[in-house]
Structure 1
Amino acid sequence: MSGPLIEKQVRIRRVTTIGPQVAQGLADPARLRILEVLSQKPMTAEEIAKALGGAGMKKATTTVRHHLETLKKAGLVEASRMVEVRGAVMKYYSPTIRAYACEAQSVPDLDARAARIIADTGAKLARVLAGVQADKRFATLLEKEKEAGKCKEFLALEIMNAALARAISS
């Protein structure tokens, strides 16, 4: 038996913090599209169904409600407003994450074309990550979390992710 047909070092190109419920929430293309639609403005299940239909993804309102329930359990959407209309309560939903999508998926050869800015930004982020992990408040947070040893890097990245979301929103 000869050696491997191919063997190469695979470099990690993207980091995403994700848990099982979030993964399930994002597993269906319709739910991804719902998050995209909700990024425009808060909407009811009926408005979402109409928006999906207009985009060529026809879904019944009951199906949209099911998807919204899955997204709520995953912490990806929340009811942002409730109004009474003719004795019924209408819930408006808003996303808790900002999902970016691009038909092109990514810029071809981004790593090569933007190597310098990626390296510079990576070095800056490494210092920020080290600062987060060295912060006494982070140590306190780790003490309170079960199995924190396994999750130290995850928790630090979640903090950076939340800070990035706050920066984008401001």
Structure 2
Amino acid sequence: MRGLYFEEFEVGKVYKHPFTRTVTEMDNIMFTSLTMNLQPLHLDEEFAKTTIHGRRVFNSLFTLALIGAFHVPELTMGTTLGNLGYDEVKFPHPVFHGDTLRAETTILDKRESKSRNDSGIVWFEHRGYNQDDVLVCLCRRVGLMLKKPADADKKEEEA
């Protein structure tokens, strides 16, 4: 399985990724602890009860990482050279333990690299939704993508 080469991205195309993931209390506690985020809103149920949410909120960086990963098998597996930056990240609605998340990606733009002849630049918008189709994460990012190698068709035929 491979992702898309630069030439295969179509500006304006929307990909509705087939994966979903129910996030758990363990996911939140482990990610928050591993990243040394001591925010009680993520870890302390009694504290969280006193907030506007009334319960613990999922660590937003976990949400971003998960939503940002749903596209990998379909779009960038083995064809990306890396992220160039994040233009925008928003969390319009909190994520809670037990929510089931899914994602969609829109190709916003693309252009050939000015400094590398083997790659191009693609602008992505990733959107994450919960089980009620409420937008929980929006991320616009820029990635450096490989161009299709001259022998790619021959290699795929042999496989």
TM-score range, shorter chain: under 0.3
Between structures 1 and 2, the one with greater strand share: 2
TM-score of the aligned structures, taking structure 2 as reference length: 0.23
* Larger relative contact order (Cα-Cα within 8 Å, sequence gap ≥ 6): 2
